[in-house]
Amino acid sequence: MRKYWLSVLASLLLVCSVPLFSILQNVMVTQDKPVSRQGIIDLRQWDFQRDGELALDGEWEFYRDRLLEPDDFLSTLNGGAAPAVSAMIQVPEKWNTYLSDNGTSQAKGYATYRLQAVIPEGDAVVYGLRALNIRMASKIYLNGQEIGHSGLPASEPSESTANNIPYMGFAAVDGGRLEIIVQVANYNYSSGGIVQPIIIGDQKSIMEHREFALFVDGATIFGFFALALFLLMFSKVKASRGITLYLGLFSIAALIYILTHGEKLIAAVLPGLPYEIVLKLQLASSTLVYYYLLRYVANSVNYPVPQAVMSASRAITAVLLLTAVFIPAQYFSYLEGLLLTWGVVAISFVLYSMIAGTLQNRKNMFLMMVSIESLSVVILFYLVSFSDMPLHYYVLSYEIILFGFFQAILMTRQYAASFLEVEQLSRRLLTLDGLKDDFMAATSRELRSPLQGIVNIAQTLSEGAAGTLNAQQRGQLSMVMSTGKRLSALINDMADFAKLNHGDLFLQRQAVDLRSVASSVIEVTRHVTGNPKLSFRLELPDFLPPLETDEQRLEQILFNLLANAVNYTQQGVITVSAEVKEDYVVIQVADTGSGLPPERLRTIFDAYDPQGASAQKLYRENGLGLSITQKLVELNGGRIEGESTPGRGTVFRFTLPVLNEQTAFLGQDYLEITGWETAASAEPVSGELELQLSEDCCTILVVDNDPVSLLVLSNALRLERHLVVTAASGPEALMMMQEQPDIDLVIMDWAMPGMPGLVLCQAIRERFILSELPLLVLTSGNRPENIQAIFEAGANDYLIQPVELREFRARVQTLLDMRKLIRKSVETEIAFLQAQIKPHFLYNALNAIISVCPDDPDKATDLLLDLSMYLRSSFDFQNRGQTVPVEKELELVRSYLALEKARFDDRLNIEFDLPERIRELIPPLSIQPIVENAVNHGLMQKEAGGTVTLSIRLLARQLVVAVTDDGIGMSQERIAEVLSEERTEGGIGLRNIQRRLLKIYGTGLIIESVPGSGTRISYAIPRTDPVLE
């Protein structure tokens, strides 16, 4: 409460300080200034240069019903009779009680005012007079000279012209006396005469007085104009309660009011405007000032103005406005009392509402109080002007400036608060939008997971995870899987469809080879479809310029169109063709399927089929695919259309722009087109980087038909100190791998002309397994069927183009580290095998050699050489690669068998069934341990011994190694123990080979045995020699 009263006192002090100063000034000036008595004023003690202008207040001679001129008073100088003075009238004051002879109030008529002034003797001085408000027509004479007039005073109303505009005039005066004669006529107003002082002074002081008055009115008008412009501009921004609108309209009304009062600058703005129009504007503007001020306060404070007051204000305003429009101006003055009363009532309610409102809500209380109080002083200023009291115009200017300043602060605060609220709401909206996106993403993930779970469960059940199924059950599960996959595709399409609708999907335009993309898409579609009755054709012209489009979105378009064709074509041919036009290419996807009816073709690209559920069941097999396809084509700047004949097939044609000459330039700028990002520290290069290879460098083969991509990839890998070899096509890559078999990693583009990536992947996997030679595939398509085809073709990993080089390097390093770990694991396994060489084998071998020495030294020498070969091969630490030549393994086997033959003599028979020439590679120590097992655990357990046979067969795609013996054989339990992961006594060599084969090739040992009859242990691995295929 204390803060409230402090705000009230501070606002009153701020608002009322200048008006109080004006009142004190009036009192002080009134005490010291000369006044006229009996029509004479003494100005000899008044220094106009020092004291400024002077208001000629006091008693003037008054001549009713006469319009006297200076000549009428010259007769007194010649001894003639002077005009009789009707009365002494107080100026300024209305003449109503002086104009009639009997003392009754009379406003209309004419009369003459006369004042004589005693001035200092001396040279001629230019004096000036300034009339402020003389109703309603006047003319002034100074020492016999007419110095100015406003309107035309006359004795007859028909001859008189009303006009009450402030004016001034000057005349040179010498001698000690000065005579002022003022003719006045009023036939239009309810009061007449000189109602405001006439100002006298020298030329300088009069001009300064007028300029100050013009400045005050001009500043006030400009202030209200600027405020009105500001408020009306923002009335649409915040028009919830009409605050800015009402305050803006109030400012316009106040502007018009000031234009028609005071200096009445409207006469300068619209010269020649009839004064009756000025009077109408005065009444209308006064009425609207009160009305809009009341409406503004009623809407801006929290305490409402009573409804009765608002209704009365509307009624009074309507009456006064109708009066201003339709009633002659000469009757307006009779409404002064009503207007004054209405103004007092309106201001009272304004102050009442303001005080009550600020008591309830003290936010911005001080600003609101200052603004309303300053407006109240302005209104009171003009109300007081009706009482003919002397006023200082700077009071009005101060209050208007004060109001405008504080109102601007108030509005600025309000708008700042509004903008802050909007910003907070915007942040909340962005947060909610982000939450919505998160919700959609989470929902999408949550939908995909159980959906994929359903599909996986159905697939495992179909494959017999819960037992054997009949044909009907498998068919039902197949329908479940098919429906789940379509629903998964629909979820992906919905995400793309939403992005397209909201304009959130942007194309990464680059030079795209249609042949490469189409070949890749066709191969993937053929692979996924798996329908032998359906064939695909790619018919493209020999010359096909690159397209300017997004490669990933082009793949999506082709996938959607091919999927649609597959849906309607159970058997037949699907053809992708193209035709080059001027600056675009027409791409066509045609099928020989069932076709579409005309009514369906018209809505084929609609997102929602208007034909209902039946049509959706029959034709909407591709979800939103075709609608998305249309939007993607249009986003690329092309168009798509379809035509179909039921029973004969469907054709879809779409256009895409050709890469223009400016964009087709392949230079350093092309790196941006392809989407590759180079490291910030890497300098642009035009050829191969000459960098020193690291000690543990790897050999990497990069396959891509785009020379710029090859350059970027090669440089990125060379910066990592790797040896990089490149190939521009699939056949060239296969040839490179044959010439350089020590390649550690292959990086290949999925979409290449000639041999697509899928075919190249399959060809590499026929020779190398996943762990033996990793494959990293670069693809622009991230559709599930595309990724599935990549992994099914044998890739270890993939990256979506455009590729960020840091991720690219990380994935490359991961694959290289994986291959190194596998090599390390193989070396560990080999070392483990080497550790299994038992000491008694050496003792037995040496004893056998010693026993042979006395009888057959040459044979002992051969046995020593075999033992040396065996040991050297077993402990060859420099040859621990994942594979070794077959001949190398056979040398170890022959050395081992020669030593064992020397020990067991006739008990051990050896047979070999080998091809004449073997250039294949096999895992090291993958034959000798099997042979050793056959000798020790098979043959030597029989007293008579037996025969061990080593057989190697070269099939079309496989190398089959088999070791057969006719020993004691193995039981099924023993076979299971040997092949199990659990450590048991004996069988370590076989278990080691089993584990390595499974890890490298995915297949292990095959043990066939009959107890008492012998054992056959074999394994089959992919061939590595393409010459013998």
Question: Which residue do the tokens 């009996």 mark?
Answer: 38
Confidence of residue 425 (pLDDT cuts 50, 70, 90): confident
Amino acid identity for residue 574 in this structure: I
Question: How far apart, in Å, do the first and last CA atoms of the chain sit?
Answer: 104
Which residues does 216 contact at the CB level (< 8 Å), separation at least 6?
Answer: 262, 393, 394, 396, 397
Q: How buried is residue 838: exposed, middle or buried, by Cβ count under 10 Å (0-12/13-18/19+)?
A: exposed
Distance CA 604, CA 221 (A): 67
* Element at 418 (helix H, strand E): helix 393-462
Q: What is the mean pLDDT of the chain?
A: 80
State how far the alpha carbon of 78 is from the alpha carbons of 73, 75, 114, 226, 860, in Å: 10, 5, 19, 61, 181
Which residues does 650 contact at the CB level (< 8 Å), separation at least 6?
Answer: 564, 565, 568, 590, 591, 593, 595, 596, 642, 643, 644
pLDDT single digits (tens) 104-141:
889 999 999 999 999 988 778 899 999 999 999 999 99
> What does R_g of the chain's alpha carbons equal in angstroms?
56
* Element at 184 (helix H, strand E): strand 177-186
Amino acid identity for residue 665 in this structure: F
pLDDT single digits (tens) 762-820:
888 887 778 788 999 998 767 777 788 888 888 999 988 777 778 888 999 999 988 88
* Element at 952 (helix H, strand E): strand 946-954
**What pLDDT, on a 0 to 100 scale, did the predictor assign at position 470?**
85
**For residue 611, is pLDDT > 50?**
no
On the question of a common fold for 510-661 and 836-1028, the answer reads yes
**What pLDDT, on a 0 to 100 scale, did the predictor assign at position 599?**
77
**What pLDDT, on a 0 to 100 scale, did the predictor assign at position 224?**
85
Which residues does 688 contact at the CB level (< 8 Å), separation at least 6?
Answer: 714, 715, 718
Give, as one character, the DSSP assignment of residue 687: S
Domain ranges of the chain: 37-210, 213-421, 510-661, 666-826, 836-1028
**What pLDDT, on a 0 to 100 scale, did the predictor assign at position 878?**
46
Give the pair of three-digit tokens for residue 1023: 């061939």
Phi, psi of 517, deg, nearest 5 = -65, -45
**For residue 953, is pLDDT > 70?**
yes
Neighbours of 765 (CB within 10 A): 17
Neighbours of 831 (CB within 10 A): 12
Question: Which residue do the tokens 């060379």 mark?
Answer: 718
* Domain at 666-826: CATH code: 3.40.50.2300
Neighbours of 442 (CB within 10 A): 11
Distance CA 266, CA 261 (A): 9
Give, as one character, the DSSP assignment of residue 693: P
581-592 burial string, b = 16+ CB within 10 Å, else e? eeebbebebbbb
pLDDT single digits (tens) 341-354:
887 788 778 777 77
Confidence of residue 380 (pLDDT cuts 50, 70, 90): confident
User: Which runs of E-coded beta strand occur in 824-945?
Assistant: 884-885, 908-913, 921-922
Amino acid identity for residue 83 in this structure: P
- Top pLDDT among 671 and 721 is at 721
Question: Which residue do the tokens 């996106």 mark?
Answer: 437
Phi, psi of 668, deg, nearest 5 = -65, -35
**For residue 849, is pLDDT > 60?**
yes
Strands 510-512 and 547-549: antiparallel
Distance CA 989, CA 979 (A): 11
**What pLDDT, on a 0 to 100 scale, did the predictor assign at position 862?**
75
CB 803 within 8 A of CB 675: yes
3-state secondary structure of 683: coil
Distance CA 159, CA 598 (A): 92
Could you check whether the bond before residue 818 is cis, i.e. omega within 30 degrees of 0?
Answer: no
Over residues 184-197, mean pLDDT: 92
State how far the alpha carbon of 749 is from the alpha carbons of 706, 779, 799, 991, in Å: 9, 6, 10, 40
User: Which runs of E-coded beta strand occur in 278-390?
Assistant: none
Phi, psi of 434, deg, nearest 5 = -65, -40
3-state secondary structure of 391: coil
Distance CA 932, CA 954 (A): 23
pLDDT single digits (tens) 960-1014:
999 999 999 888 888 888 777 555 444 456 887 887 787 777 788 999 998 988 9
**For residue 608, is pLDDT > 60?**
no
**For residue 239, is pLDDT > 50?**
no
**For residue 12, is pLDDT > 90?**
no
Give the pair of three-digit tokens for residue 882: 């994942």
What 3 state SS string does 187-206 have? Answer: CCCCCCEECCCEEEEEHHHH
**For residue 474, is pLDDT > 50?**
yes
- Top pLDDT among 655 and 397 is at 655
Give, as one character, the DSSP assignment of residue 174: -
Could you check whether the bond before residue 92 is cis, i.e. omega within 30 degrees of 0?
Answer: yes
Give the pair of three-digit tokens for residue 380: 């009171």
**What pLDDT, on a 0 to 100 scale, did the predictor assign at position 1029?**
39
Distance CA 559, CA 542 (A): 23
pTM of the model: 0.50
CB 170 within 8 A of CB 164: no
**For residue 622, is pLDDT > 70?**
no
Amino acid identity for residue 326 in this structure: F
Give the pair of three-digit tokens for residue 105: 């109030």
CB 91 within 8 A of CB 57: yes
Topology of the domain comprising 510-661: Heat Shock Protein 90 (3.30.565)
**For residue 916, is pLDDT > 50?**
yes
Architecture of domain 37-210: Sandwich (2.60)
Over residues 257-280, mean pLDDT: 90
**What pLDDT, on a 0 to 100 scale, did the predictor assign at position 262?**
84
3-state secondary structure of 396: helix
Selection from 58, 330, 90 nearest residue 191 by Cα? 330
Distance CA 201, CA 194 (A): 18
CB 648 within 8 A of CB 515: no
Give the pair of three-digit tokens for residue 573: 């041919």
* Element at 822 (helix H, strand E): helix 805-835
Confidence of residue 841 (pLDDT cuts 50, 70, 90): low
State how far the alpha carbon of 636 is from the alpha carbons of 277, 507, 519, in Å: 66, 8, 21
* Domain at 836-1028: CATH code: 3.30.565.10
pLDDT single digits (tens) 47-56:
898 888 999 9
**For residue 235, is pLDDT > 80?**
no
Amino acid identity for residue 1015 in this structure: T
What pairs with residue 180 in β-bridges?
115, 142
Which residues does 982 contact at the CB level (< 8 Å), separation at least 6?
Answer: none
259-277 burial string, b = 16+ CB within 10 Å, else e? bbbbbbbbbeeeeeeebee
**808-817, 879-888, 943-952: which range is least confident on average?**
879-888
pLDDT single digits (tens) 569-578:
888 999 999 9
